[in-house]
Amino acid sequence: MEPAPRHDDPPSPPAHVAIIMDGNGRWARERHLPRIAGHKRGAETLRKVLIAAGELGIAYLTVYGFSSENWRRPADEVDELMSLLRHYLCSELAELHANGVRVRVIGDRGRLHKDIIALVEDAERQTQDNTVLHFTLALSYGSRHEIVEAVRRFAQQAATGDLDPENISEEDFTAHLSTAGIPDPDLVIRTSGEMRLSNFLLWQSAYAELVFTEKLWPDFCKQDLTDAISEFRQRERRYGATGV
């Protein structure tokens, strides 16, 4: 029999934290800087948050790096973001791997440049056996597209007689999403004061606690993550049931 937890033991952190990193452009505009300066500062913030997540005992961290809708931005800004992504994947991989971080990328890779796809695949391959922190980066990602793709695969299986639609369960559907094998997020944080999910992990966040902060992403720090976790711990998660 396992010993009962001591009353003075610190509460466990949420197992899976997802973050919508918002506010890079606004941060740059407030400082009369080009938008790419905000994105570069945001990449530095991500590095610090990854370290903080490990220190706080978070097992899974998922961040919204580039949405499927972000392709609509001006071409020069998209090109700058892709260049920044290349630099990030090249410069940070060795440290992430050394610190036991497993890297996983979800989203529509078909729209990414071939060299970026190769960098992503290399990062996933090198870190696939790491277990200290599971880091998922959503790139060219949209949750509605993800859900439609899952439905399409089910429809194809049903059309060939390999699947009886009556037997489809929530667990089956979850297994067809790009996040298969990753637990649903317990806590979703969005920075910059916006209060919406913006097509991010819609199925997976059904019972997640949502925390919105006014802090712009480039200014987000370990203390802000700690504060969000503290707010999470104060909430009663009932999953549709009544409270005691």
Burial (CB count within 10 angstroms: exposed 0-12, middle 13-18, buried 19+), residue 243 = exposed
Q: Of 70, 99, 130, 199, which is the active-site residue?
A: 70
Helix (H) or strand (E) holding 209: strand 209-212
The conformational region for residue 60 under phi > 0 = left, psi -120 to 50 = alpha, else beta, is beta
Q: Is 108 a catalytic residue?
A: no
Can 22 be counted among the known catalytic residues?
yes
Distance CA 18, CA 186 (A): 8
Choose the catalytic residue: 22, 24, 186, 224: 22
- Helices then strands, counting H and E runs in the chain, come out as 7, 6
Helix (H) or strand (E) run with residue 19 in it: strand 16-20
Catalytic residues, by residue number, are 22, 70
